[in-house]
């Protein structure tokens, strides 16, 4: 039986109104990666997080929570038929992350205590080398699925994890822009001596020539160095600070007009990088570095919907910094947000039918 015949048979037999079943794939869907239009790459990695840990458990937590998400979507009621598949979570990568995290914590504590740090220390070198290897592994795996004709999304892990996917997309698609929803700029240079820090991912992404534009939304925690980098970027970085957006709203601006202004700064091809701490902290209390302020869930969804309505193509996406939390609220929100990202990517690439 061909993949097409197998998928058609599964669609005919699957009940989208039924309860999610443990042991099935994400959202309880029955499709293999080969049968799915969207392939999700889980990266359980959090070596360089600088505050609270837990994001390495994000992919598994989102997978578990996804079984509670109903499949009907108002933007694409039968989106599930296109197929969404989460690849197996790499337990070896998770173990490496946990081991290196212990070393990284000692390094971070030493910095916090004002101790002198040797930039050439074996510990620091081992962490930077392992992080580089993780980026290369993600790039290789993403390239394989992109070459297979799939839309690839990434589920972190901390925000350092999507760099390999961004590199793979640059080789596949050429020029594109990044829409980053985040509380932080992530433009620090080797933060805490980590070259692939979660706080440096956009600084590293801008080293990729094909990334022609970085549009940041919801930013509300940043340093002077990052602000100067934005100001000196010649328009390559455009930041919509959360405070400025809110002040304009208080004085009469609508989110519709603001969202259109944001979308108009983006090129035709767009990569969406969604750090869950870009949302209001009440929606993600377990994330590593929550910050007061931020976007509401519907507000963020509205913005990405506007990207699709503008005719732009979402070439890929990530959702990162989801930590399970004691009440699993972060994972619940993350699973629902991830489905919307899948839907909007599917709609923009015309592999899903709009309502």
Instruction: Mark the ranges of the chain whose per-residue pLDDT is less than 50.
Output: none
Instruction: Report which of 105, 98, 93 is spatially closest to residue 54, judged by C-alpha positions.
Output: 98
Are the C-beta atoms of residues 238 and 214 closer than 8 Å to each other? yes
Instruction: Report which of 168, 31, 130 is spatially closest to residue 86, judged by C-alpha positions.
Output: 31
Strands 211-219 and 84-86: unpaired
pLDDT at 104: 73
Instruction: Report which of 152, 167, 272 is spatially closest to residue 210, judged by C-alpha positions.
Output: 167
Instruction: Report which of 153, 202, 181, 165 is spatially closest to residue 276, judged by C-alpha positions.
Output: 181
297 token code pair: 């869930």
84 token code pair: 């969404």
> Would you kindly state where each structural domain of the chain is located, as residue ranges?
3-348
C-alpha to C-alpha distance for 140 and 315, rounded to whole angstroms: 17
Are the C-beta atoms of residues 260 and 215 closer than 8 Å to each other? no
Residue with tokens 């930590």: 323
196 token code pair: 């692939």
C-alpha to C-alpha distance for 226 and 185, rounded to whole angstroms: 7
The kind and range of the H/E element at 173 are helix 163-173
Cα atoms in the 13 Å half-sphere on the side-chain side of 138 = 30
- Answer whether the bond into residue 157 is a cis peptide, omega within 30°: yes
Residue 202's contacts (CB-CB under 8 Å, 6 or more residues apart) are 178, 180, 185, 186, 187, 214, 216, 273
C-alpha to C-alpha distance for 8 and 2, rounded to whole angstroms: 10
113 token code pair: 């205590």
Instruction: Report which of 337, 331, 349, 333 is spatially closest to residue 303, judged by C-alpha positions.
Output: 337
Kindly write down the DSSP assignment for every residue of 11-68, as one continuous string.
Answer: HHH--TTSPP-TTSSGGG----TTT-SEEEEEE---TT-SS---GGGHHHHHHHHHTT
Query: What digits encode the pLDDT tens for the residues 55-97?
Result: 999 999 999 999 999 999 999 999 999 999 999 999 999 999 9
pLDDT at 324: 84
pLDDT at 293: 98
pLDDT at 109: 65
C-alpha to C-alpha distance for 322 and 331, rounded to whole angstroms: 7
Architecture (CATH level 2) of domain 3-348: 3-Layer(aba) Sandwich (3.40)
């Amino acid at each position: 039986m061909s993949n097409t015949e197998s998928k058609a048979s599964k669609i005919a037999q699957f009940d989208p109104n039924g309860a999610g079943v443990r042991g099935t794939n994400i959202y309880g869907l029955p499709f293999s990666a080969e049968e799915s239009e969207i392939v999700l790459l889980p990266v359980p990695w959090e070596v360089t997080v600088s505050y609270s840990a837990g994001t390495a458990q994000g992919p598994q937590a989102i997978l578990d929570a996804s079984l509670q998400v109903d499949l009907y979507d108002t933007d694409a009621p039968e989106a599930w038929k296109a197929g969404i598949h989460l690849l197996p979570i790499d337990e070896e990568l998770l173990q490496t992350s946990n081991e290196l995290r212990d070393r990284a914590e000692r390094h971070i504590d030493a910095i916090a205590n004002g101790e002198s740090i040797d930039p050439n220390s074996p510990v620091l070198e081992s962490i930077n080398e392992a992080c580089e290897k993780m980026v290369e592994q993600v790039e290789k795996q993403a390239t394989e699925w992109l070459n297979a004709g799939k839309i690839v999304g990434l589920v972190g892990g901390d925000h350092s994890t999507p760099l390999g996917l961004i590199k793979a997309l640059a080789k596949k698609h050429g020029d594109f822009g990044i829409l980053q929803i985040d509380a932080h700029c992530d433009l620090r240079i080797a933060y805490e001596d980590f070259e692939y820090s979660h706080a440096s991912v956009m600084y590293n992404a801008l080293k990729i020539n094909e990334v022609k534009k970085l549009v940041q939304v919801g930013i509300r925690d940043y340093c002077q160095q990052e602000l100067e980098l934005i100001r000196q970027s010649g328009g390559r970085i455009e930041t919509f600070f959360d405070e400025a957006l809110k002040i304009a709203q208080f004085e009469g601006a609508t989110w519709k007009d603001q969202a259109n202004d944001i979308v108009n700064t983006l090129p035709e091809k767009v990569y969406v990088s969604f750090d869950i701490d870009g949302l209001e902290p009440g929606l993600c209390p377990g994330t590593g570095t929550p910050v007061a302020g931020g976007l509401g869930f519907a507000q963020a969804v509205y913005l990405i919907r506007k990207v699709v309505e503008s005719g732009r193509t979402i070439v890929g996406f990530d959702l990162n910094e989801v930590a399970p939390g004691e009440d699993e609220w972060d994972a619940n929100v993350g699973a629902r947000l991830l489905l919307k990202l899948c839907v909007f990517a599917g709609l923009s690439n015309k592999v899903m039918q709009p309502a």
